[in-house]
């Protein structure tokens, strides 16, 4: 009966169902049904073995009428596909929750934000120390100034000059080099301004992504993004869509892992799964995907922001300082609420 059911599905129809079914939703429901089955047959497995209990279950299924087979399979398909669609709708709200866009309990949010800002301050100090060490070696500031004077002198003390140069070139050891990389990565993935800190690492990564175009070009990423998207080339859009899809899938994996706790009344191992899977999804998938998406978003502004000026018929800035002070805020204001700037005239976009 099942063979006839599957053979009756069209190829395109089957593909659409496969896309919905072969998701973490399927693993969630399969694991749940396995937990329920084990709660009913676990004692039988321990006394008679797996083969005997599985045979009993298969015989019960075979005794059902043929129509019941079809209805059961169809119901399972609808359950898996429907729950997968529901999880897709919950992806954005869940992502916002993981970022830290919640206000209650206030004391918890404040403590988490304060903790991350303290880490930001520590890494800032550590980066300053490492940059100084990378430039000075083991020299003090006074010795570094002495070295500079000796290098400029017409007849320097050769032995002193050689000694100071050797100490300046000592540089960073392996641990310091690793700390330098970690410090630069942490500070790049966190907003610089104290008032913009978020309570989670994911929130800091995406908030830093939003703030980077404003700090570099005066462009508000939230206001300008949709307009920029419309002028991006197809290959850039494809890369961004793929990166965002990876982030969304990792977020849904977190969701299905956390939901596994509902099977705890039938089996105790649902609880560790509900803890381990979200943790792995967050640290092994969500954070990495968010970082990649943030880098691609920032690169889109770096490479294609002048297309936005041209599409809006605004003059391109002629220097980075002019862009931060005038050009970027001008684009943001036009997209947000319009411009009322005396003397400003629209320009034709450059040809070629």
246-276 confidence digits (pLDDT tens): 999 999 999 999 999 999 999 899 999 999 9
Share of the chain above pLDDT 90, in %: 55
206 within some domain: no
One domain, residues 78 and 169 = no
Q: At what angle do helices 11-21 and 24-48 cross, to 10 degrees?
A: 70
Identify the domain containing residue 111 by its residue range.
106-198
Q: Residue with structure tokens 């920029």? A: 228
Given this model, what pLDDT does residue 2 score? 41
pLDDT value, residue 21: 59
φ, ψ for residue 347, nearest 5 deg: -125, 155
Quick check: is 45 in a domain? yes
Q: What is the mean pLDDT of residues 313-337?
A: 94
Which range scores top for mean pLDDT: 38-42, 150-154, 241-245?
Answer: 241-245
- 61-70, 310-319, 338-347: range with highest mean pLDDT: 310-319
CA angle 249, 99, 212 (to 5 degrees): 100
Residue 227 sits in the same domain as residue 194: no
Claim to verify: residue 81 and residue 28 sit in the same structural domain: yes
User: Token pair for residue 203?
Assistant: 């929130």
Say yes or no: 83 and 110 in one domain: no
In a domain, 21, yes or no: yes
Chain-centre distance for alpha carbon 193: 20
Domain annotation covers residue 209? no
| Same-domain status, 149 and 239 | no
- What was the pLDDT predicted at 265? 92
The Cα 179–Cα 127 span in angstroms is 8
Classify residue 99: in a domain, yes or no: no
Q: What is the mean pLDDT of the chain?
A: 87
Place of tokens 């889109």: 300
* Res. 19 pLDDT band, cuts 50 70 90: low
How many residues are recorded in the chain? 352
Last residue of a domain, one of 53, 87, 121: 87
Inside any domain, residue 101 = no
pLDDT in tens, 281-313: 999 999 999 999 999 999 999 999 999 999 999
Q: Which of 331, 254, 325, 328 is nearest to 285 (CA)?
A: 254
- 208: pLDDT strictly greater than 80: yes
Answer whether residue 98 is part of any domain: no
**Shared domain check, 114 and 178:** yes
Helix or strand (DSSP H, E) at 96: helix 66-99
- Whether residues 76 and 156 share a domain: the answer is no
Q: What is the mean pLDDT of residues 212-221?
A: 95
Residue 257 lies inside a defined structural domain of this protein: yes
**259 with 350, same domain?**
yes
Residue 67 predicted with pLDDT over 90: no
Q: By three-state DSSP, how is residue 342 classified?
A: coil
Last residue of a domain, one of 165, 198, 231: 198
Integer-rounded Cα radius of gyration of the chain: 30
d(CA 222, CA 226): 8
* pLDDT score, position 17: 54
Co-location of 346 and 244 in the same domain: yes
Number of domains into which the chain is organized: 3
Q: What is the pTM of this model?
A: 0.83
Closest CA to 94 of 182, 200, 241: 200
Residue 42 sits in the same domain as residue 169? no
Q: Check: CB of residue 15 under 8 Å from CB of residue 244.
A: no
Specify whether 61 is located in the same domain as 124.
Answer: no
pLDDT for the residue 178: 92
267 and 344 share one domain: yes
């Amino acid at each position: 009966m099942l063979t006839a059911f599957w053979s009756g599905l069209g190829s395109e129809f089957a593909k659409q169902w496969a896309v919905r079914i072969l998701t973490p939703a399927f693993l969630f429901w399969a694991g749940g049904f396995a937990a329920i089955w084990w709660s009913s047959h676990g004692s039988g497995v321990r006394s008679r073995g797996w083969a005997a209990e599985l045979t009993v279950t298969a015989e019960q299924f075979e005794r059902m009428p043929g129509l019941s087979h079809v209805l059961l399979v169809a119901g399972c398909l609808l359950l898996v596909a429907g729950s997968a669609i529901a999880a897709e709708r919950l992806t954005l709200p869940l992502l916002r929750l993981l970022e830290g866009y919640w206000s209650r309990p206030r004391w918890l949010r404040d403590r988490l934000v304060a903790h991350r800002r303290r880490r930001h301050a520590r890494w800032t100090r550590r980066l300053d120390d490492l940059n100084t060490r990378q430039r000075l070696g083991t020299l003090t500031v006074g010795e570094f100034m002495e070295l500079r004077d000796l290098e400029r002198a017409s007849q320097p003390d050769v032995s002193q000059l050689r000694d100071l140069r050797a100490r300046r070139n000592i540089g960073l050891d392996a641990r310091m080099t690793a700390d330098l990389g970690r410090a630069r990565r942490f500070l790049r993935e966190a907003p610089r301004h104290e008032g913009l800190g978020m309570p989670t690492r994911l929130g800091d990564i995406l908030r830093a992504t939003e703030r980077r175009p404003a700090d570099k070009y005066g462009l508000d990423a939230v206001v300008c993004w949709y307009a920029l998207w419309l002028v991006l080339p197809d290959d850039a859009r494809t890369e961004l869509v793929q990166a965002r899809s990876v982030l969304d899938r990792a977020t849904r994996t977190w969701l299905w892992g956390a939901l596994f706790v509902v099977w705890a009344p039938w089996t105790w191992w649902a609880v560790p799964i509900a803890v381990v899977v979200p943790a792995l999804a967050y640290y092994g998938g969500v954070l990495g995907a968010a970082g990649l998406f943030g880098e691609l978003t920032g690169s889109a502004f770096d490479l294609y922001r002048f297309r936005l000026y041209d599409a809006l018929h605004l003059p391109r800035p002629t220097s980075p300082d002019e862009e931060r002070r005038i050009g970027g805020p001008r684009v943001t204001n036009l997209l947000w609420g319009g411009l009322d700037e005396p003397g400003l005239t629209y320009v034709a976009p450059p040809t070629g």
